[in-house]
Amino acid sequence: MTRPGKVYLVGAGPGDPGLLTQRAVQLMHECDVVCYDLLIDQAVLAMVPASTRMMAVGYRGYCGTSIEYGMHPDVVEQALAGHTVLRLKAGDPLIFGRATEECRCLTHHGIDYEVVPGISSALGAAAYAGFPLTSNGLASDVTFASGHRASSTLSSWAAMGQSSGTLVLYMGAKKLALHAQRLIQEGKAPATPVAVVAAATCASQRVLSTTLERVGGQIESFDNGDPMLVIMGEVVSLADELDWRKRLPLSNVQVLACTLDQTLTTQCKNLGATVVEAPRVDISYGFSDADWQRLQQAESLWLDSSEAALSLIEETRRRQLDCRQWPWLLRGSESACELLKEYNLIAQCCASADSGEVVISALTVPGALCGRRVEVLEPAFPLSPAALALVDELVVARYLHERGLLAPGALVLSQCEHVCRFLTSVGHQCERVNGQQGLPLPLMVEGKRNAA
């Protein structure tokens, strides 16, 4: 009989992969299978080696799924087949993670397990929204409560209404209007500061800062389906003073990194930007069928080099297709565009260098780029000597301008009137060329690079 493999219940933290523990990362590289919750952010899943089997085993609350308590059958099956299984759980596995039922189930099947803690979303949310959970004179205790059911915890609502400590509600957003009403009835001040943190620590984190009496009327329009934590108490108001993230020069800016250069993306992160990797197809070692399939799904391509352009032409020929019928909007580096021209193919040239392209957008929805600005930046710029920057928010334009990084004559193609107005007022030539929302993200196609 096969000896069962071990199951590791591992906390994945709230979303920022930088918040994973070393033990979690080590186990990601050692296990045979990763079984993950639906709440786990893509950026965390991207840390798992491509060769490891991935299985989604979670469920999202509120969706009417009938929930079997206990370990997911796929996890049990994989472990009984002798595999080492990493059961990746959002936040910390021991906080509202049904660890008791899961551990009992594993014991019942004779499967060994180990629990690896993670940063719970409450801790991540407070840190990344810029306020503490306790603070001298404001709150000397903090309560983690489940807001999933409104009625069953009536006794604790009364205590929480009377408490001056901080209250964190997990799974509390859907019934928040009810909870807020009840807490006020139980004695909590209507003006109590409240922060609702959605997708805490992820690239798409959003914060609703409000009060207990107003939050019930605001939550529905704030809810876009991301997981949300509700934090109530006087500590929340300290964000005005302590929020370290909003002081960073590229805070609220999303950077779409079209580069394999990690130092570049790290620099962007250190400046406060959230970095989203551009979808890319690396054809340096030739085209696979899967690569070709992905290209078919893209609406526009960004060709990073003449090699990428040539590979695409050759692959099209190999498949006995006609380049003139390419369905894509083509953009690319100067060398890629030059090469396409030799074949009478027209592409829009976006940057004068083949490497180090970075796209900056101030939008919060990945993939919904609406503005663009093309510029070769000075070597002093922390992003890269040669960068492609898309700017559509005043703060980014101002940041670039203050550091003298906008060359006169820079072309700013932006949806945002303010950027154009600002840049025009400081002597740059601006052109608004696109009024559409949500341009699809171009798919990067990378060709061979020279060893140097």
* SS3 category, 99: helix
Short-list 250, 312, 271, 318, CA closest to 447 = 312
What value does the CA radius of gyration of the chain take, rounded to a whole number of Å? 25
Site residue total, ligand SAM (CB under 6 A):
23
Strands across the sheet containing 274-277: 274-277, 254-257, 358-361
The answer to whether residue 337 forms part of the interface with ligand SAM (CB under 6 A) is no
Check residue 239 for interaction with ligand SAM (CB under 6 A). Answer: no
Residue number, 16 or 354, with CB nearest to ligand SAM: 16
The count of other CB atoms within 10 Å of the CB of residue 228 is 26
Q: Is residue 15 at the binding interface for ligand SAM, with CB under 6 A as the rule? A: yes
Binding status of residue 228 toward ligand SAM by CB under 6 A: yes
Q: How far is the CB of 101 from ligand SAM (least distance, A)?
A: 12
Cα–Cα distance for residue pair 447/282, rounded to 1 Å: 7
Binding mask 107-146 for ligand SAM (x = CB under 6 A): -------------xx---x---------------------
- List the alpha helices (DSSP H) in 40-120: 42-45, 73-80, 99-108
| Among positions 4, 91, 356, 442, the unique one binding ligand SAM when judged by CB under 6 A | 91
> Smallest Cα–Cα separation from 232: which of 295, 169, 326, 153?
169
- Pick out residues in 310-329 that bind ligand SAM (CB under 6 A): none
Name residues whose C-beta falls within 8 Å of residue 201's C-beta, 6 or more positions apart in sequence: 13, 14, 15, 16, 19, 121, 124, 125, 127, 128
Looking at the Cβ atoms of 229 and 336, the one nearer to ligand SAM is 229
Q: Which is nearer to ligand SAM, 148 or 449 (CB)?
A: 148
Amino acid at 262: Q
Longest dimension (CA), the chain: 77
Q: Report the nearest approach of ligand SAM to the CB of residue 37 (Å).
A: 8
- Contact between 199 and ligand SAM per CB under 6 A: yes
Work out whether 236 is an interface residue with ligand SAM (CB under 6 A): no
* Binding piece for ligand SAM, criterion CB under 6 A, among 45-53, 199-207, 314-322, 417-425: 199-207
Q: Does 335 bind ligand SAM (CB under 6 A)?
A: no
- Binding residues among 170-189 for ligand SAM as defined by CB under 6 A: 170-171
Residue of this chain nearest to ligand SAM (CB atom): 91
Let me know: does 72 contact 20? Beta carbons within 8 Å. Answer: no
Q: What residues between 54 and 73 interact with ligand SAM by CB under 6 A?
A: 61
Q: Decide if residue 332 touches ligand SAM (CB under 6 A).
A: no
> How far from the centroid of its chain's Cα atoms is residue 240's Cα?
24
CA 418 to chain centre: 26
Compare residues 117 and 132 and give the one whose CB is closer to ligand SAM.
117
Residue 97 Cβ, how far from ligand SAM at the closest point, in Å?
Answer: 4
CA distances for 226 relative to 11, 102, 204, 222, 388, angstroms: 19, 25, 9, 10, 30
Which residues, including other chains, have CB under 8 Å from residue 296's CB and lie 6 or more apart? 327
Q: Is 274 in the site for ligand SAM (CB under 6 A)?
A: no
Q: Which of 96, 128, 157, 328: binder of ligand SAM (CB under 6 A)?
A: 96
Q: Using the rule CB under 6 A, give the single segment among 47-55, 192-200, 259-267, 316-324 that binds ligand SAM.
A: 192-200
Q: Which residues bind ligand SAM (CB under 6 A)?
A: 14-15, 39, 61, 89-92, 95-97, 120-121, 125, 170-171, 197, 199-200, 202, 227-229
